Amino acid sequence: MMIKDKLEKEDILMIEENPLFLATVNKRKNPHSIIVAYVKVAENKLVITDNYMVKTIENLKNNKNVSLSIYNKKWTGLFIDGVARYYKNGKYYRLIRSLKENKKEPCKGAIVVTIRSIKKMF
């Protein structure tokens, strides 16, 4: 799915300028949700910085399916489902390392989400 086919420019800005909720599941299928702040849209994927994630990365080793949600102060938002892959090197890792927001962060890796579905919240 091409993100540009489903999202308007305002949606991409909302993704990149607001915290997102990222949900994964563990081995026992229990949900785990965190808030992520450093997300970029690149090559029709979402690229998320792993600065301090532990449980999320462990969960992705067992189940690559993720769900994200985001909304802004205007109460517009998105529900996104996808498949995640973790990178400790390569172009996506270099991308997160280059972000000014990550200048003083550890940047342990990049979570790259290939989108399966996007739904508008309202």
pLDDT (tens digit, 9 = 90+) per residue, 61-109?
999 999 999 998 888 899 999 999 999 999 999 999 999 999 999 999 9
Tokens found for residue 39: 């997300």
DSSP 14: H
User: Can you give the CATH number for the domain in which 94 is found?
Assistant: 2.30.110.10
When divided into structural domains, the chain yields a total of 1
Largest CA distance in the chain: 38
Instruction: Supply 104's token pair.
Output: 């003083």
Give residue 91's domain range.
Answer: 3-120
Q: Which residues of 85-95 are buried (b: 16+ CB within 10 A; e: fewer)?
A: ebbeeeebbeb
d(Cα 118, Cα 34) in Å, to the nearest integer? Answer: 19
The pLDDT of residue 1 is above 60 = no
